[in-house]
Amino acid sequence: MHHIMLDHFAGGKTPVHRLDPAAKTAATLAFILATVLVGRDRFLPLVPVAVALALYHAVGRTPLVYTLKRLLVVSPFALAVVVLFPVLEPGRAVWTLGLGPWTVGVTQEGLVRAGHLAAKFLLCAWATVLLAATTRFQDVLQGLARLRVPRAFVVQLAFMYRYLWVLMDEAMRMRMARAARDGRLGPWRVRFQSHAGLLGVLFLRTYGRAERIYWAMAARGFDGTLHAPVQSRMRVSDWIFVACAFAVGAAAIIWDTVFHG
């Protein structure tokens, strides 16, 4: 079975694709950190980060539709918070709605807060999407390892990425096998039971697979510590890129503190 992988466009040949994965990962962290540190309700200090990301996007030739789709996929997480702010934030009401005994007021302060949160969220998500679009997942992992992220965490991510699709295939095959036997799904109780059974079997299979993978690792000398052949390939261009990313981040924070106190 075929799945669209996260790093579908990572095989490109642009200067951004050629950058060292550790450099790109560090830059992404710098963009995110700067965005998060900008004080509440301030939009202008976010501009340097947005401009830098737009440049990153253009040079990396990431398709706009791809980026928008990815942003859409992750947006529900932020949306829940963003839509509540205009209603929950106290302030000058710009619009009220009567709902029987209750009145819901949308405040100007709430709208600003929601907009600011949405902007921050979009910038952070954009930075991550660009990293994923221009770097193969295994390279991101290597980058994380070289940035001294705990090895257990990196390995966990690697296993997740390796076996996610295998697990999805397994679930899909089981669903197909079930569908092949009942063309029309029965009453909801039967359906629910079969869903529960499927999940249970999937869990058991995953458990069995985990054991076999451990055996395969132990058969090749795994003793609980993970070693990895990691080579540093940071070149001058990579260092310049990281420096620029941190400069943009610094610009955002300085703008924020100098002009807004």
Partner 1 sequence: MADPALELADVRYRYPTGPEALRGVTLAVRPGERVGLVGPNGAGKSTLLLALAGFVPAEGLIRVAGHTLARGTARDVRRHLGLVFQDPDDQLFMPRVADDIAFGPVTMGLPLEEVEVRVHEALHAVDLEGYEQRAPYHLSVGEKRRAALATVLAMRPQILALDEPSANLDPRGRRRLIGLLKCLESTLLVVGHDLDLILEVCERTVVLDAGRVAADGPSGDILSDRALLESHGLELPLCLAAHM
Pairwise CA distance, residues 106 & 96, whole Å: 6
| Greatest CA separation for the chain | 70
Q: Of 106, 209, 244, 246, which lies in the binding site for partner 1, with binding defined by CB under 8 A?
A: 209
Q: Which amino acid is at 74?
A: V
φ/ψ of 94, rounded to 5, equals -105, -15
Between 202 and 251, name the residue whose CB sits nearer to partner 1.
202
φ/ψ of 8, rounded to 5, equals -55, -35
Q: Of 77, 192, 203, 215, which lies in the binding site for partner 1, with binding defined by CB under 8 A?
A: 215
Strand-pairing partners, residue 102, are 99
Q: At what angle do helices 108-134 and 47-59 cross, to 10 degrees?
A: 30
Contact 163, 251 (CB under 8 A): no
Q: Of 75, 108, 128, 138, which lies in the binding site for partner 1, with binding defined by CB under 8 A?
A: 138
- Residue 153 as a binder of partner 1 (CB under 8 A): the answer is no
Q: Of 201, 217, 250, 254, which lies in the binding site for partner 1, with binding defined by CB under 8 A?
A: 217
Pairwise CA distance, residues 38 & 61, whole Å: 28
- Residue 187 as a binder of partner 1 (CB under 8 A): the answer is no
Which tokens hold the place of 103? 């009145």
Between 64 and 219, name the residue whose CB sits nearer to partner 1.
219
CB of 169 to partner 1, least distance (A): 9
Q: What is the DSSP letter of 201?
A: H
CB of 179 to partner 1, least distance (A): 23
CB of 218 to partner 1, least distance (A): 7
CB of 173 to partner 1, least distance (A): 13
Task: Name the residues that contact partner 1, by CB under 8 A.
Answer: 5, 137-138, 141, 158-159, 161-163, 165-166, 209, 212-213, 215-223, 227-229, 231
